[in-house]
Amino acid sequence: MAAVDDLKFREFDDAAHLLAANPDATTISIDEPAEAHKNQHSRRQEPGREEDDELLGTDDSDKTELLAGQKKSAPFWTFEYYQTFFDVDTYQVLDRIKGSVFPVPGRNFVRLYVRSNPDLYGPFWICATLVFAIAVSGNLSNFFIHLGRPTYRYVPEFRKVSIAATTIYAYAWLVPLALWGFLMWRNSKVMNIVSYSFLEIVCVYGYSLFVYIPTAILWIIPQKVVRWVLMIFSLCLSGSVLVMTFWPAVRDDNRRIALATVGTIVLLHALLSVGCLAYFFDAPEVDFPAPIIPAHNGTTLITKVK
């Protein structure tokens, strides 16, 4: 009787009452300085074990998974349900961003940062910032490239903002949906140890796009070599975050399917960055004699260079 009651989620009674009901239960108390001190003390005693647990992420994630399973209990048509996806503090968002920019080999982004608490704040606002960063930087770079040419008239190219928005948001939401569906399907055939929820995949994709924001700003520099180096560099960084996240999820599967999945992820990511570079940023270092009217459409210039 006590066991069944304990499995049900209920409001937090005071610890004494719960302990009286089931003396063997583990109680996790937050905001108790004595408890925190004890935890710190035990951490210091076994640093080796802590490291292993951190790498595997099993110790914390077990406890937090219990809590996470009980968190989203509001029905989906209430406001509180969506509030659970924004339950992050500033330092958490900053940590996740740092984790996406400096991927450490062997450390899984989801396991380390997101496991208990996927949020929608990061993906949404990173995508929004990226949209505007690309549009503004593209506009600026075109302005500087064509500066001084007598027949060039500056236009703000506002249409491109909506195109950028559609592309980036579609990528950040539809590709995770497809990937999640694919992983679910493979899970039903092959029992994988690691499986991600849809929100966690969206989270990883959203945060992995962060490194493109400074890249887009640096793409203003009108040197072809610089732009390609930047693109490859950022592709490696964000691609590695994605690969390290999804490799454990597919490696138990058939070898070829696993490689194909990871390859597709990287390929789509590369297509996004190459497409953005080609569409929003005109080709630099193009020498036209004065009478030629420069085209506003970037592709015409690119074909002429090639």
Partner 1 sequence: MYPKKSSTLLRDWDLWGPLVLCVSLALMLQGGSADSKEDGGPQFAEVFVIIWFGAVVITLNSKLLGGTISFFQSLCVLGYCVLPLTVAMLVCRLVLLAGSGTVSFIIRLIVVIAMFAWSTLASTAFLADSQPPHRKALVVYPIFLFYFVISWMILTFTPQ
Q: In angstroms, give the least distance from the CB of 83 to partner 1.
A: 5
Query: What is the C-alpha to C-alpha distance for residues 134 and 206, in angstroms, rounded to an integer?
Result: 16
Least distance in Å: CB of 38 to partner 1?
Answer: 24
- What is the rounded CA–CA span in Å between residue 19 and residue 216? 56
Residue nearer to partner 1 on the CB measure, 125 or 233 = 125
Instruction: Give the shortest CB-170-to-partner 1 separation in angstroms.
Output: 18
Q: In terms of CB distance, is 121 or 288 closer to partner 1?
A: 121
**Tokens 């700003």, residue located:** 217
Say if CB 180 and CB 196 are below 8 A apart.
yes
Strand, helix or coil for residue 301 = helix
Nearest-approach distance from CB 296 to partner 1, in angstroms: 5
Write down the least CB distance from residue 141 to partner 1, Å: 14
- Give the nearest distance from C-beta 306 to partner 1 in angstroms: 23
DSSP letter (8 states) at residue 103: P
Binding site for partner 1 (CB under 8 A): 79, 82-83, 85-86, 88-91, 93, 121, 125, 128-129, 132, 136, 139, 153-160, 296
Judged by DSSP in three states, 254 sits in coil
Which tokens sit at 284?
A: 């630099």
Comparison of 12 and 158: residue with beta carbon closer to partner 1: 158
Taken in order 87, 89, 95, 101, the sign of the CA dihedral is positive
19 phi and psi angles, rounded to 5 deg:
-65, -35
CA dist 192 and 258 (Å) reads 12
Calpha distance 269→263 (Å, rounded): 10
To partner 1, the closest distance from the beta carbon of 145 in angstroms equals 15
Q: Which is nearer to partner 1, 144 or 233 (CB)?
A: 144
Q: Which residue lies nearer to partner 1 by CB, 126 or 211?
A: 126
Of the two residues 27 and 73, which places its CB atom closer to partner 1 in the complex? 73
151 vs 254 by CB, closer to partner 1? 151
Sequence-separated (6 or more) residues with CB below 8 Å from residue 25: 6, 18, 19
